[in-house]
Structure 1
Amino acid sequence: MSDPSGQEPSGGRGTRQYSDEELQDLVASTDSGARNPSNRAVALLISGTALVWSLYQLWIAQPQLWFGEYLPVLNSSQTRPLHLMFAIFLAFLAYPALKSSPRDRVPLIDWALALVGAACCFYVFAWSDRLAMTARSGLPTEFQVILGAVGLVVLLEASRRALGPALTIVGSLFLLYAYFGTGWLIPELIEHEGLSFSALINAQWLDTSGVFGIPLGVSTAFVFLFVLFGSLLDKAGAGNYFIKLAFAGLGHLRGGPAKAAVVGSAMTGVISGSSIANVVTTGTFTIPLMKRVGFTSEQAGSVEVASSVNGQIMPPVMGAAAFLMVEFIGISYLEVIKHAFIPAVISYIALVYIVHLEALKKDMPALGEAKSFASMILKFLIGFAITGVAFTALIYAANALQAVAPGLTGPVFMAALLGVYLLLVAVAARRPDLEVDDPNDPNIRLPTVGEVYATGLHFILPIFVLIWFLMVERQSPAKSAFYATSLMLFIIVTQRPLKALFRGEGGRLASEFAAGFVDLRDGLIAGARNMIGIGVATAAAGIIVATVTKTPIGTELAGLVEQLSGGVLFLMLVFVGLFSLILGMGLPTTANYIVVSSLMASVVVSLGAQEGLIVPLIAAHLFVFYFGIMADVTPPVGLASFAAAAVSGGDPIRTGFTAFFYSLRTVALPFLFVYNPTLILYGVDLGTAAGIVQAIFVFVVATFAMLLFAAATQGYFLARSRLHESLALLAVAFTLFVPNFWLDMVQPPFREIAPAQFEEAVANAPEEARLRLLVRGPDFNTGEMTETTLVMDIEGATAQERIRNSGLLLFPEGDAVRLDEPMFGTDTAEKLSNFDFYAETPVTLAEVQAPADRLPAQVFYVPALLLLGLVILLQRRRQTKPAF
């Protein structure tokens, strides 16, 4: 155990424990800018610009557009340049160029870069009509090309300052690749003719598909509001409330501080879009307490890293990746949340269990009087069920009111919300406000849930409003976030004076109102400053997106991965995961997802299809996203690991490797839901009772399997596991996750149908069934023979109608069936775009597969559970302490 000072006795690298001021500087330097000008006018300019940016974003986000009668309504081609203008201007004022650069003043070169960058963005806003007639019609002027080139250079420099060199280097390489096309460093597989300088600048800066494309559009429309929402919640005191609540509920257990760190990070992950901010915010309190009960500095830091990074895969925000997935995949926001929910939740549950196993292995004490882990879980499940029933009842009540008096629904809802808010603030006013505890206090006293929960229940209301509008009203993420943020604005201004009023301190109303407005101002400024890096990152990542669309790199990466893996599907997925991990190094979550999904998501889908595995696009995007965020954990970059080591005083490299070991479940999950998409509820209809039952079953089985996986990797279950016991637990977990793996070895999943009988098979297939088609033919780029598996959805009454709906154009030629180029604009045309339909060798339908009648895959649960029972029997003999 470490000494009372919290410092490790060994003299390894990175062992110095940072002070609170240094930790706040660490967060500022990565998230909001480390510069703090001594000149009051400059400081006010930075704060004022950030404040104006937040107000501008609220103005363009408000859904009623009441000002449309008096002021012009801005379209996306105008709001995006202004968004980036604020981000670039603040990036040069808030982020020093180098570590040695002055932090107390803004050098002249930074003023010049800030103004030039802002001017380049403002031109795109102010002269959008002229750009539409010239550059966006393929005729850029010389001035526009020069301005665009300057804008790109300034943007890349802003990216380097705000995010480090990673994205700047990647963006520069992609620009060079797009311009040159060929060269000794460019593999022959992805060579192209190269773009002219004016075409390159036009595509990247002047058009709406590069810097000002979809990623920046998502940042403008959705991400800013959610970051601002989180900033206001934190400024109001919600962050401290969530941490205190987690410690009140879990701190009394074995290894309680670590369990509380996991749950606290999960809750703060809702209001934080940054792994590093999450580590420092919760870690400054949790890490010293973890070390106090027996965790080493590296273990304490690793638990915090694993839980904080997991916050990026936790709906509803997912580090803003959720909104990008909506745009990139073309599915609704609710669908993204549905698919991402189970993997994220079971990953957190498994991390709590990993911490519990560490506490058992080391026989760690509890802080204060020990309590039962099992009873805590039971209470949580009861509370979860009650909340679910109450939420469902509220939905039915709202629907009934809507049916009886539709015009009263809005006013009644607002009046009820106001009444509940006043009641919850009145309840909170009966207790003292929560103070931030000192984790190094030797006499620290853990609060009880009863003491904490009532002090911040009103913070749940804006989150409730967000969920209500997203899930019940089915509003857009932008509109939902606007309503939730509007309520948060009201709460942050009124909670202080209302508490004073309820406490009988009427004389303090004016001062408390003033303090509320100060909190509001600070929250708006902090939200904008936290958006600087994200705004710049999404713009710079647009360079990669535009290059992928303008060059063959996006389509040819699949061939490169296939060559490296030798055609073995599992190895393909491993290589894609490694590429995603490397591409994600040093990037914030948003830019990370844009880069890895642009390059690697389609590779997973196309390679899976070539090997007969149909991978849903959402599964592919989640696959690369999971591996991308692991870059925050993994050395040598591992930004979150370095931040945790700064808090704990541990070695950052060892912290990173330990955190990676704790995060093995996050590494395993993407493989599991690629092979078994039911884990992400793909194909499960939550609108039916049967679908809900199936979802609950999937959740329970997946949770149980993930706990067994955690026990196997930790080498402890009921007692310390022997090697054969750990292998048995891994086999049981794998069987519960992917039972169809064993079934496919016993019974083939499909029956083969001759291509000549395709039309008959289509006619006999039941409505909404699926046929798998193996298509073989020459590759469009290489001319070599290739094949892919295509899924055909059965839609229509007759065989001809079903084939027409699929977009396929087939020509029977004896026993063979030749394919012509599919109907333009259909999904089939996109999926078969790599085939050359005009070569001498025709593209043919090589094989038709229909689902076979076979045993349910769940039959393999029986031998798996019997094997688990055997492990339990073996370990019960050696068990010396309760498992929970």
Structure 2
Amino acid sequence: MTQQTMNQQEMDQLIAKYDKESAYRQFTGPMKWITFVILVLFSLYQLASSLLIPLPPQIHRPIHLAFGLGLTYLLYSGRPGKGNNSNKVGVINIILSILSILVSLYWVFDYDGLVTRTGNYTNLDLVIGGLAILLVLEAARRVVGLPIAIIAVLFLLYTYFGPHMPGFLEHRGSTVSRIIGHSYYTLEGILGTPLGVSSTFIFLFILFGAFLEKTGVGEYFNDLSLVIAGRRIGGPAKVAIFSSALQGTISGSSVANVVTSGAFTIPMMKRLGYRPEFAAAVEASSSTGGQIMPPIMGAAAFLMSEFIGVPYFDIAKSAALPAILFFMGIWIMTHFEAKRLGLRGLTQEEIPSKADVLKKIYLLLPILIIIVVLMMNVSAERSAIIGIVSTIVVGAFRKETRMSLADILEALASGARVALGVVAATACAGIIVGTVTLTGIGLKLANGLIDLAGGQIFLTLFFTMIASLILGMGTPTTANYIITSTIAAPALVQLGVPVIAAHMFTFYFGIVADITPPVALAAFAASGIAKSKPIQTGVESTRLSIAAFMAPYIFVISPQLLLIDTTVGEAIWVMLTSVLGMIGMGAGLIGFWYSKLNPLERLLAIAGGVLCVIPGLATDIAGFVLLGAICALSYRKSRKLNTTTAA
């Protein structure tokens, strides 16, 4: 079993510092049990609503929202920095909690009346709707962060002040009553598709992750990674990559992933000889990559499925090869860095017993089961429930992983608490989506982006990348995808890019914002563990994640990488040339292949790598020739150096 160099309290404090969703109050006394019971009831309601006859969305989603907002105001402080250091909830927060529950359940209380008077709302309706918008914005600010709340407010202001907007942004505007009605009393605003997905697929898969954690699968990922990669050149760095890829299958947060696995991988990398900035960057980039790793993909896969009307399994299948390419890119660069520094792998005494680790391989069965069930076209909701049940059953195989009733209740509460950030994010993002449908700004921005790029696909891709990086700063995965796909993806679709490729493109760059300065939350969290320079760590993380910057361009130009309208042979060829390109770029960026590369050789290696990545037979051949020459030259220099040393 692995030993972590940070205690749990230190880990919690670090996560809370960079991940607002983790900065919740940890009560003692009566409030601890009151919130615990409500959290458990939240999970039980979600399970019941999935197993029994489904309620109308105008009933189910407000109940989901009532639980989410009510708990948010109890568990999250309105003042930055208070978070889990405060055990007192305060009268104002209790009032806001009760008010948010009543406002959310207004749909339940007056369902028939609201349906019959659609578009002709009473003053009470408008007051309740206005309060709902304000409460959602404040809840999102508390648990998700200020950026998403600011974006939502700007979109609301844009909806109202439409006639005063410049140029192509001008529109006829909307009255306050129409904005409130559209935002809260239709299924295109707060209660729209994002919250709908949160109230079904996302919640259940978060719950599945919570049950897996209770069996100890998170720590098992670390042990398994040590056994598989620990003894290789630069072992700890490769352990971090492998562990983060596995953690990403159940985690919805780059920062939480960083702290969970980085607490023991980063110190090991530093002890082995990696620079603090490089060690932190390996963990940060790998953990961020976990958000694009199927099957969960930080819960964004379910949103993408609903937004573009494609089966969930098709989304996960399309994301598989780019995710593998991303992690291979980081693996390649850490390998070259380790060779450049002459770093060894871990010794046999530094890794867990292989036999002991393999005895617990059954802990991965629930993940395998859920993938197989999804491949059988079982609905995502049913698949998640099957996954939860299988986790309890599989955990019962051995005494140390067997879940008691207390463990099950704690998993129910933990899953519901983690879901609060998603509830707030999706409800707030619903405001943004609602204003887009009301004003048509999505099409306007798409046209503006295309005009700015002069209709050129590469310039449009570049501008879309910049927009996604900016919009993704400081926002969690679910909100990240909703914002970037709503604002940036339509431009690519208009230029003929396949819908999945367009949405995946914006999603990738929104996620990469977690390691791209100046707001590189995952890099800063890793820096806190490594005691490295934060901005330099972010720069190093960006360099290591070159595959994340290249892969989206590859699959837009060659959708075969996303397994869209392709044969197995075409997909394999694109993957092989892309991997070879990553090897060349990795060697050039690190400055080492078989031996140290001089500046010209580094430049040629990067150029050869880029040529291999660009689709086309001519560029592939040119890239092969260039990389072959650099590889042969480096190998020859290495042999010559070894001969000289031996003599």
Do they fold alike, i.e. is TM over 0.5? yes
Q: What is the aligned partner in structure 2 of residue 27 from structure 1?
A: 15
Superposition pairs of residues 153-192 of structure 1, within 5 angstroms: 153-183=134-164, 186-192=165-171
Superposition pairs of residues 285-300 of structure 1, within 5 angstroms: 285-300=264-279
If you compute each CA radius of gyration, which structure gives the higher value, 1 or 2?
A: 1
TM-score normalised to structure 1 length: 0.69
Q: What is the aligned partner in structure 1 of residue 526 from structure 2?
A: 644
Aligned counterpart in structure 2 of residue 265 of structure 1, from 200, 220, 244: 244
Q: Which has the higher helix share?
A: 2
Q: Is the 8 A contact 2:144 2:421 kept in 1?
A: yes
Tell me the amino acid that sits aligned with residue 112 of structure 2: D
Query: Aligned with 1:557: secondary structure?
Result: helix
Query: For residues 336 and 109 of structure 2, what CA distance do their matches in structure 1 show?
Result: 60
Q: What is the aligned partner in structure 1 of residue 584 from structure 2?
A: 708
Q: Does 1:462 align with 2:462?
A: no
Q: What is the aligned partner in structure 1 of residue 600 from structure 2?
A: 724
Q: What is the aligned partner in structure 1 of residue 97 from structure 2?
A: 114
Superposition pairs of residues 387-398 of structure 1, within 5 angstroms: none
Query: Aligned with 1:465: secondary structure?
Result: helix
Q: Does 1:449 align with 2:345?
A: no
5+ residue gaps, structure 1, are: 1-5, 7-16, 370-443, 501-511, 685-690, 741-857
Q: What is the aligned partner in structure 1 of residue 330 from structure 2?
A: 351
Superposition pairs of residues 118-517 of structure 1, within 5 angstroms: 118-134=101-117, 137-183=118-164, 186-368=165-347, 445-454=350-359, 456-471=360-375, 473-492=376-395, 494-495=396-397, 498-499=398-399, 516-517=404-405
Q: Is the 8 A contact 2:614 2:620 kept in 1?
A: no
Query: For residues 518 and 356 of structure 1, what CA distance do their matches in structure 2 show?
Result: 44
Q: Give the CA deviation at 1:719.
A: 1.9
Q: Is the 8 A contact 2:272 2:343 kept in 1?
A: yes
Query: For residues 593 and 59 of structure 2, what CA distance do their matches in structure 1 show?
Result: 58
The percentage of aligned residue pairs carrying the same residue is 38
Q: What is the aligned partner in structure 1 of residue 30 from structure 2?
A: 41
Tell me the amino acid that sits aligned with residue 243 of structure 2: G
Q: Does 1:872 align with 2:641?
A: no
Q: Is the 8 A contact 2:557 2:615 kept in 1?
A: no
Q: Is the 8 A contact 1:190 1:552 kept in 2?
A: no
Q: Is the 8 A contact 1:191 1:552 kept in 2?
A: no
Q: Does 1:530 align with 2:418?
A: yes
Q: Give the CA deviation at 1:267.
A: 0.5
Q: Does 1:666 align with 2:566?
A: no
Query: For residues 269 and 166 of structure 2, what CA distance do their matches in structure 1 show?
Result: 50
Q: 1:273 to 1:243 in 2, by over 3 A?
A: same
Q: Is the 8 A contact 2:229 2:235 kept in 1?
A: yes
Q: Give the CA deviation at 1:113.
A: 0.8
Deviation per residue, 1:354-387 (Å, 9 max, x gap): 1111111111132216xxxxxxxxxxxxxxxxxx
Q: Give the CA deviation at 1:563.
A: 4.1
Query: Aligned with 1:877: secondary structure?
Result: helix
Superposition pairs of residues 804-819 of structure 1, within 5 angstroms: none
Tell me the amino acid that sits aligned with residue 483 of structure 1: I
Query: For residues 351 and 166 of structure 2, what CA distance do their matches in structure 1 show?
Result: 60
Aligned counterpart in structure 2 of residue 617 of structure 1, from 499, 504, 507: 499
Q: Is the 8 A contact 1:249 1:448 kept in 2?
A: no
Query: Aligned with 1:879: secondary structure?
Result: helix
Q: Give the CA deviation at 1:536.
A: 0.6
Q: What is the root-mean-square deviation of aligned Cα atoms in Å?
A: 2.1
The range that moved more, 74-83 or 730-739, is 730-739
Q: What is the aligned partner in structure 1 of residue 446 from structure 2?
A: 558
Q: Give the CA deviation at 1:104.
A: 1.2
Q: 1:100 to 1:484 in 2, by over 3 A?
A: closer
Q: How many residue pairs end up in the alignment? A: 634
Query: For residues 610 and 43 of structure 2, what CA distance do their matches in structure 1 show?
Result: 48
Q: Is the 8 A contact 1:586 1:637 kept in 2?
A: yes
Query: For residues 317 and 25 of structure 2, what CA distance do their matches in structure 1 show?
Result: 41
Deviation per residue, 1:266-312 (Å, 9 max, x gap): 00111111111101100111111011001122111111100000001
Q: What is the aligned partner in structure 1 of residue 86 from structure 2?
A: 103
Query: For residues 98 and 19 of structure 1, what CA distance do their matches in structure 2 show?
Result: 26
Tell me the amino acid that sits aligned with residue 603 of structure 2: L
Q: Give the CA deviation at 1:30.
A: 2.5
Query: For residues 876 and 548 of structure 1, what CA distance do their matches in structure 2 show?
Result: 56
Q: Give the CA deviation at 1:564.
A: 3.4
Q: Give the CA deviation at 1:722.
A: 2.9
Deviation per residue, 1:485-536 (Å, 9 max, x gap): 12223344x34xx538xxxxxxxxxxx97x6222212111111111111111
Q: What is the aligned partner in structure 2 of residue 849 from structure 1?
A: none
Tell me the amino acid that sits aligned with residue 107 of structure 2: V
Tell me the amino acid that sits aligned with residue 356 of structure 2: E
Q: What is the aligned partner in structure 2 of residue 739 from structure 1?
A: 615
Query: For residues 621 and 145 of structure 2, what CA distance do their matches in structure 1 show?
Result: 52
Query: Aligned with 2:404: secondary structure?
Result: helix
Q: Does 1:572 align with 2:555?
A: no
Q: Give the CA deviation at 1:873.
A: 2.2
Q: Is the 8 A contact 1:51 1:528 kept in 2?
A: yes
Query: Aligned with 1:632: secondary structure?
Result: coil
Query: For residues 216 and 602 of structure 1, what CA distance do their matches in structure 2 show?
Result: 21
Query: For residues 865 and 154 of structure 1, what CA distance do their matches in structure 2 show?
Result: 58
Q: What is the aligned partner in structure 1 of residue 70 from structure 2?
A: 89
Query: For residues 250 and 860 of structure 1, what CA distance do their matches in structure 2 show?
Result: 34
Q: Which has the higher strand share?
A: 1
Tell me the amino acid that sits aligned with residue 250 of structure 1: A
The range that moved more, 113-122 or 861-870, is 861-870
Tell me the amino acid that sits aligned with residue 44 of structure 2: L
TM-score normalised to structure 2 length: 0.94
5+ residue gaps, structure 2, are: 643-647
Q: Looking at both structures, which has the greater relative contact order when contacts are Cα pairs under 8 Å and sequence separation is at least 6?
A: 2
Q: What is the aligned partner in structure 2 of residue 628 from structure 1?
A: 510
